[in-house]
Amino acid sequence: MADVTLLDLSRDIDGPEARRIRDRIRKGLVVKAGEKLSLQKRDTVWKGEPPFDELSAQELKAAASDFLVSGVKKLAERQELLWASDTYSLLIVVQGMDASGKDSTIKHALSGVNPQGVHVTSFKQPSAEELDHDFLWRISKALPERGRIGVFNRSHYEEVVAVRVHPEWLDRQHLPSEPSGAPLWESRFRDINAFERHLHDSGTRIVKFFLHVSKAEQKRRFLKRLDEPEKHWKFKAADVRERTFWDDYRKAYEDAISATSTEWAPWYVIPADRKPVMQAMVVGVLLDTIDEMDLRWPHPAKGERVALEAARRELTAEPED
């Protein structure tokens, strides 16, 4: 079974059988429009779809690693086509609890693409200028141009998740007195859906990933950061405090994802306790998302073809050195 899996994943990644496998996996990860998400019912360790369900943990890790290598190469090819066609852009939104693997997933999934064609934005605490604008203002400024890939490491969804968990942060936004409470979040969900629909209609394809890590795995990763001096920079004491809000964050994410997973901007809940499998899943979804754009290599206009033929004749006529 392991040999068949590795053949499907790494040797024939774009073959019909591999595509069928990817399609089955993707359907199990997506949050359907209108679905009421329960993260407690979603696995943080992937149980496997055929033919993966008979693999051991080590075999599954090897299969995922092989797919990741091949998938990154294919993603680089698709990025070049995206760039050349200059019609669509791709926006990748990555969210998750602390230590869910956002940075490493972005690093590995996009390790082979041309850096000229991708831009990663990590949204931190908003500045005073940003707080004096609506919550989507700084997001709009970071959107990818046509032909490019944009990655949001955290995003506008912090405004309906982190701020919901810590409503005292709203004071800094100087909002009008209405709406507040539940009406505020519902209003923001509507604004996000309308904003993302506008982007889709304008040629920006959006794919959103929630990296679903367990509380136990988060603890293990935190302790690893504390045990390894070279990882201390990744740890903040406040991270432990935020763990006390785990259930609040889970509920906020459930509500936000349920309200904003749409046909034009779907959410995928990616089991995140095993990083190689998580990263392979993300790459697989990205490959399929670009494929759905049905891109074509641009063909030169008649005048350009004449110029190209003239250039060929000129180069051919040059004397050899």
Q: Greater confidence, 302 or 28? A: 28
Q: Which residue has the tokens 């406040």?
A: 238
Of 212, 216, 201, 213, which Cα lies nearest the Cα of 262?
201
Please give the Cα distance from 247 to 258 (Å, whole number).
Answer: 16
Of 262, 244, 258, 224, which Cα lies nearest the Cα of 42?
258
1 pLDDT band, cuts 50/70/90, is: very low
pLDDT tens per residue, range 76-94: 999 999 999 999 999 999 9
The interaxial angle of helices 246-260 and 182-201, nearest 10 deg, is 50
Contact indicator for 270, 282 with CB cutoff of 8 Å: yes
Please give the Cα distance from 110 to 108 (Å, whole number).
Answer: 6
pTM of the model: 0.91
Please give the Cα distance from 205 to 319 (Å, whole number).
Answer: 49
Please give the Cα distance from 119 to 141 (Å, whole number).
Answer: 12
The dihedral through the CA atoms of 42, 46, 48, 53 has a sign that is negative
308 pLDDT band, cuts 50/70/90, is: confident
pLDDT tens per residue, range 201-222: 999 999 999 999 999 999 999 9
